[in-house]
Structure 1
């Protein structure tokens, strides 16, 4: 069995001689789509309907859409992965013109020289770098330097036994209720 995967895309195109409203109705019932989803499908933009499917399933989608009067596209995802995307065009940034008063004593007429060595490494020196690959399981950390322990005087400190009070502020007991013996209720 082939491992090739496909995607089915639709860009709102219909067959010649087909009625747009009938095609929308058929596609709507096929995908159980409401009016807003149908407008989105028929907007003219390429919409992927189903992806990561085998060729037989892609052909079923193509046949169903073809019967409805819609024109769909089947594209191999493996082919897209094999082809390298085009290199993006590199745009050179230009500095905005700087306005400096001539009384500052700066020469603004001469353009700044372009920086040709941005990292401070010449191409010829790259082979001189001391980088390598360590064997499996080797220690990647640099040597740890031993630090002398500081001399602390803790002779004035002591340890309390387990469960003892460590100096927390004790919560005062609730005050007693007020004495209401001298009060009476009258109907």
Structure 2
């Protein structure tokens, strides 16, 4: 007999995920109403997919983990072939109704269940064709915590550098300033004093003005026009 698998969910979410956001994503994935989501997040293990093969169980696991949920997968022994089974006793109508009411599977019509399976298939088929990558909602972390790498410390090589002692100058000491000039022989004159004129070396000029005289008053200088 081949081994079958049951897929359960007990309301647990992956590390770093918000339960409300995971609930919303699962509602979109399974087209589940609020009553079904309340049952899924009740804290008790709820059967999501019954007696499926390993490949189908892994597809459910991958799709639910992409939504942020942490599924539970348990292996079960496959039911024997119909020829090997003992004839089942005929059930009464009341027994059949009780079995349907107590079924642990997520309650939804067969058409909705088939739609959910198709959505799981669509969510995982693209990832199979493209490798292990998928499209996550806006704001989702791309890497898991264990896939993240811390910042690497750069290896800096500085053979020509050294650390100076505390208080040490970074540049050479500048040359000393020249001494101030001696002004002890200088003094300031009082206000209003006449400053002496510097001695001149040129000979004073004394022109001969004996041939010059002043014209009498009223002289006409028109003859000097030429």
Q: Which protein has the larger Cα radius of gyration, Structure 1 or Structure 2?
A: 2
Larger helix percent: 2
Bin for the TM-score computed over the shorter chain: 0.3 to 0.5
